Structures are given as structure tokens and as C-alpha cells.
A and B are shown apart, each in its own frame.
Chain A
Amino acid sequence: MVRGIKEKMEVEARIKKDMEYEFLYGDADSFMKHFDMDEASKFHTRKWFEGYALAFERPVNCSVEVDSSFISSNKQLDGVIKINLDYLKYDSEILLLYFVWDIRKDVIVCSKFTVQNTLDSIIHSGIKELRLSMTGDILEKDVDLEDLKEAEDPLEPQMYARILIKSVRYRISNPEVNSAALLSESMCYNTIKLSEQLKNTDLKESFYALNNFAKKYLAVKSYLDASGEAVTSPKEQSLVSMKSLDDVYYEIKKQGKSGVNCIENISFYLSILQLIGIKITDYFVVVQPFHFMALVHIDEDIFLISFNDVIVMRKTRLYGDSSVNSIFNPLWFYSLDMELTNMSHKEMDILKTFFKKIPVFPIGPIPEEKYCTEKNEDTLPCFEQYESVEELHRAIRKHVFEKSRLQPHSVYTWAKYAYQLMYVKKPQAFVISGFLSKKIQSFLKKIGSVTELIQWIKVSIDKGSIFPEKDRIMTAEQVLTHRTAAEKDLALFFYTILAAAKMIETGGIIITSDTSYVIGLADGQVDIWNMSDLTEDKLVSGQVMMAFNEKSSYNYYFDSVDRLKELNWYEEINHRS
């Protein structure tokens, strides 16, 4: 034991000396020699060090305190390194590096870093407690179809499928995905219902209440692949699907907590703040290499939200990673990576004014010709204009659908797909997203036949959608993740598996006024599976409202009946009858 304590003290002394040296004199390569972690962790740790030691100014003073204890195996130490940094031009900062030190390898094998002065240290009392009360089905109501009927949805369905996956890869290649995904979260009934609890209170107090709620219910998690294993390379991270807030709420309902990554975490904060009245000009998401964080201007403060850590930013305050790949909010995006924007010069001036308050985040230029010349300025409906949840829900949906019709290439059109509205012009996107899902691809290996699939569904899938809105459809991946589905969701899941596993040659999904069906054609045979009880039927019953697969679609509200006859796989049912 005495030897153990002596060893611990020696390691702590060495860590202290090394860290002080590195922050005062070292470079990124020498700093990283103290770490042996996976590729993704090393990437972020390096960025963090550069931000506080190299990017803007070297500290003029650095003092380190180490506090650790042996892990039970006695071959590791875990603890916290407190790094006190003083600068000439910037505010002093106290960094906290939580670590696990491998004694045999003599390196840090696991770490998490933060700063000491987060929102936790601001003492406030009387913060309103938020309650997450999930509602049941929203009564069927008339969907305002005119805007949806006249909409164009001009892109190929493969493009709209990307917003259903919302991976980092697609967020980089299509910056519209970032904005539209965030916009769609404010359209969700459950988000609006949660926001209602915060309306009519002080905006800053609302923000504190949100932070409390997030800390209680949203657990920060690393990226996981389809099998639940942690993904450890930036490439793998770029492909992982992201959740929507309805996924998060459902998990909280079932498990008491939801594991979220950085994007999912800030989507929660920003969608609710938007609904209670924060202006479009007062918040932005900063996209960094494999990290998203948000900046929110409330009263005289600018808050930086990174996971559930909130710090008050100032002109002279440094931040660990000050790189900016792109910036967005629900309506605007500005991508330096891709040199793309939907902003006009006027909106760019608003953005620049905002970021002048926090110059550690530099906004690089993009070529002049990339700027949008049309006037994009807009506001979004919120509780400042509407009294009830139902009124605001109706208003924000109407707003998005109308804007999509008027501006078909805008983020509003993408938002309809992110919202997973059934009544879109290219529902093929819902099927394609299932083909792209890594989780679905992994599941395919477990199912060898239609019979096995049906048996698995009967045992594993509950009835009911995660959405209170009846005109939204769950993706195949969501059905697999949450193990619940309404009949139309089940049809999408069932067909996706059959088609992806090549158990059928072609076929599709039919949603009627009675129930939902999956049609499969193979070896000259037509099968019709009824999703209400997973039995085979001879015909479909009820009025056909929608029919689609990955290549084509029909919608009762949008298309003439001739369109239905053009679907070869559907016509096979009629030939059979």
C-alpha cells in the first residue's frame, strides 16, 4: 500500500510537470505523446490543447493540480487534472481534464475535458421544473393539403433520404440538412408541448430550466454503430444516423433517460428556445470537425452550449476548439467547407455582427458568387403569437408547407422530409433511407426468410407510433430501434427488409383507408401481407391512399388514378384478381 501511494504521488508529480511544460512550451505532437486513445478521442484532445495553448496565445502562466486514486485493478489511476492558465490578452481559465492513466503504458488512455466555470457555478433558485408528459394520439385532423398538393419537391428521393439519416457525412455534403433538421424539430407536437411549459417566463430563466432538464434526461454518449459498439474513427462517426427529438422523448419515456450526441443535444435546446421566442438572429450552431456546439444570445450574454456544458462567452474568453467549418440555424446556413450558403449579404452582416462579440470563432470568406441574391429573411411562428399548443402546432406546419410550395429548393422542403410527413411528393425517400441505414444492414444478417421476419415482428414489435401526429411515418430504422410501429410504419419496415434482403424481386407499400399492406413479387407469384395481423390476403381492402416503393409513388390527394395504374407492381394485384 505504501508503495502504491508512493507510485501514485510520483505519477501525479510527473503529470503536473509534463502538463505545465506542454501548455507553456510544448507543441501538439509532444502533448499528444501523453495519450494513447482511439483515433476520434485523440483528434478532439489535440484540438482542445491547440485551442488553449497555440491557436491564439500561449499562456504566460500555467499551474497544475492533480488529484487521483487507484482503480481497483491497481494498474490504473483515475482522477482530474486542474490546469490554471493565465494569458496576457485573454481571460484566465481553469481547465478540468478527467483522466484514466495506465501505469504500465505510462499514458492517459481515457479523458474528458471541460472548464471549471460552467453554468453550474451560477447560483440560481426557483428554476421552473419541466415535466415531460407524452401525449397520446392527436385526433385526426384535416391536413392542409393545398400547399402539399401544389408543392414541387424538385430533388431526387435519394437526396431527401439523406435528411432521414442526418449523418455527419450528409450534413457536410448537403448543408441544408443541418438547417432543415433543426427546423423540423420545432414542428413536433411534443417539442411544442414541452415549450409551452416555459412560455411567459424570463428567457434566461427558461434557458436555465432547459439546462436542468437536459442534465437530468439527456445523457451524453459517444457514437455507437449499428451493433451498439462504440465507433472510434472519424470515418465511422461520419456515417452514424442521428435521432430526431421524438426518438429522444420516446427513450426518456421508456428508459428514464436518452443517450444523445452533440447534435441531438443542441437540437433539443434550440428548438425549444425558438418556440418560446428567441429570434433567428440570436442563435447559431457552429459546426466543427466532428463536433457541433451552439451560441445563443440572451439579454447581454452569449451562452456556448456544448453537450450539457454551458459557458458564458466573452470577447476575451478562449475556447478549446475554435475552428469553424460551417454555421447554421433553422433557416440559414453558411458552409466554409463546401463554399455554400443560402444567405444574402444582409443576412451575412447580421451573422458577422453576432460573431464580432466572440472573435475566437473566425468566420472565413466564401466566394462572392455563392451568396444568395434573394431576400431570405423570415421569422418562425412561436408562443409569442399563439396561445395554445394546438394553434402553434398548426401554424408552424402551415408556415413550413406554404414556404416549401413557394420556395421549392429551400430548407422548408427538406424540413417536410425531416419531419417525416407522409404527404410528400417523394415518399420513395422513406424506403431509400432504410436501405442506407447501417442498423438495417446489420439486422438483415439475422433474418433468412419472410417467415422468420414475421415471427420476429410478432415477438419484438409493439403496436403504436412514437409520433403523436398521425400523418407522420416512422422510418424502418426507428421501428427497429424502438420496437414499436403503427401499421403504416410496420409496412415500411417490412417492405424495406424484404427488398433489401432481396427476398422479393419487386413490390411496394400500400396504405389504405382500412390498414396497410406490403406487396411482394417473386418467381411469378404475388403476395399481399396485411400489416394489421401479418397474414396473407388475396386483395387489399379500402381506398388506396398511398402506394410507393423506392422507385415510384402514388398519392390519392395529389395524383390521378392513372398514376396508380402506372405502378407495375400494383397492377399485378389487379391481374391476379
Chain B
Amino acid sequence: MDNNEIIEKLHKIYCNVLGMDITIEDFKKESDLAQAFGIDSLMGLQIIVKIEREFDAIIEDDDMAIELVGSLEKTVEFIKNEKDRKVAL
């Protein structure tokens, strides 16, 4: 799965949880998604669990979860690392 595919799936998750129609351009350009789209803790939790399911990932650390919800770049990197970890297993 390349970066674009990951971003597209993440975009879909955010739109679904937030109930908003965000363009993919706006989604990609924001450096702090939580602030830009007003993501509260309950929404953040929903986003995290959907990311886990969609990408077969495990996100345990809550501080990391907060960072991921806000940063597209970090989330993409995390997902790719998770895939590599699973391959190594």
C-alpha cells in the first residue's frame, strides 16, 4: 500500500467520524488536524479505533494516539512501520 492509498483511507475515516465533507487537498495541507477540524477526545478515540481496524494496527500508547490523530504525516509513517513489523513477525 503506497502513501496515497493510505492517505485516501485516512481521509475517508476522518470524514466519516467528523461527519464533514473535507476535501482531500485541505486534509493533506493541515499540519494540525485536531485543531483544524475541532476534534475532541471522543472523536479522537473513534478515529484511532477505525485506524486500527482499517490498517490492522495496534495503537497502545495514548500520548502517541493523540499525536497521530493530529498529524497525517506521523500517522502514515506509523502505519507503514506497523506493516513492516507484522511482516517481520
Interface residues, chain A, CB within 8 Å of chain B? 156, 158-159, 169, 172-173, 233-235, 238-239, 289, 337-338, 340, 436
Contact = CB atoms under 8 A, between A and B. Distances in A.
Given A158-B58, A436-B60, A338 B49 contact: yes
A234 B60 contact: no
Contact of A338 (B41, B53, B58, B89): B53
Contacts, number: 30
30 contacts: A156-B58, A156-B89, A158-B58, A158-B60, A159-B58, A169-B45, A172-B45, A172-B46, A172-B49, A173-B45, A173-B48, A173-B49, A173-B52, A173-B53, A233-B41, A234-B41, A234-B42, A235-B41, A235-B42, A235-B45, A238-B45, A239-B62, A289-B42, A337-B46, A337-B49, A338-B49, A338-B50, A338-B53, A340-B53, A436-B60
Given A156-B89, A235-B42, A338-B50, 4 more contacts: A159-B58, A172-B49, A173-B45, A436-B60
B69 to A, nearest CB: 12
B8 to A, nearest CB: 18
Nearest to B16: A339
Contacts of B50: 338
Interface residues of B, number: 13
A518 B62 CA distance: 29
A173 B51 CA distance: 10
Nearest to A172: B49
A548 to B, nearest CB: 17
Contacts of A239: 62
Contacts of B45: 169, 172-173, 235, 238
Contacts of B60: 158, 436
A158 B60 CA distance: 9
Nearest to A435: B60
A337 B45 CA distance: 11
Interface string B9-24: 0000000000000000
A51 B62 CA distance: 32
A283 B52 CA distance: 30
Nearest to B86: A156
Contacts of A340: 53
Contacts of A158: 58, 60
Complex A-B, nearest 9 residue pairs according to Cβ-Cβ distance, in ascending order: A173-B49, A235-B41, A158-B58, A172-B49, A173-B52, A338-B49, A234-B42, A238-B45, A234-B41
Contacts of A235: 41-42, 45
Nearest to B61: A436
Interface string B52-89: 11000010101000000000000000000000000001
Contacts of A169: 45
A235 B49 CA distance: 14
A458 B89 CA distance: 39
Nearest to B66: A235
B28 to A, nearest CB: 25
B30 to A, nearest CB: 22
Interface in B26-49: 41-42, 45-46, 48-49
Nearest to A436: B60
A238 B45 CA distance: 9
A173 B60 CA distance: 11
A234 B52 CA distance: 21
A235 B58 CA distance: 19
A232 to B, nearest CB: 13
B39 to A, nearest CB: 12
Contacts of B89: 156
Contacts of A173: 45, 48-49, 52-53
B22 to A, nearest CB: 20
Contacts of B58: 156, 158-159
Nearest to A169: B45
A172 B44 CA distance: 12
A233 B62 CA distance: 15
A404 to B, nearest CB: 21
Contacts of B52: 173
A88 B62 CA distance: 47
**Residue in A235, A239, A340 with the greatest tally of chain B CB atoms within 10 Å:** A235
Nearest to B42: A234
Contacts of B49: 172-173, 337-338
Nearest to A438: B62
A179 B42 CA distance: 22
Nearest to B85: A156
A462 B11 CA distance: 53
Nearest to A170: B49
**Residue in B41, B49, B60, B62 with the greatest tally of chain A CB atoms within 10 Å:** B49
A159 B52 CA distance: 11
A289 B45 CA distance: 12
Contacts of A159: 58
B78 to A, nearest CB: 15
A338 B48 CA distance: 11
A499 to B, nearest CB: 15
A573 B42 CA distance: 48
A233 B45 CA distance: 14
A338 B54 CA distance: 11
Contacts of B42: 234-235, 289
Nearest to B46: A337
B81 to A, nearest CB: 15
A309 B19 CA distance: 35
A436 B60 CA distance: 8
A203 B41 CA distance: 42
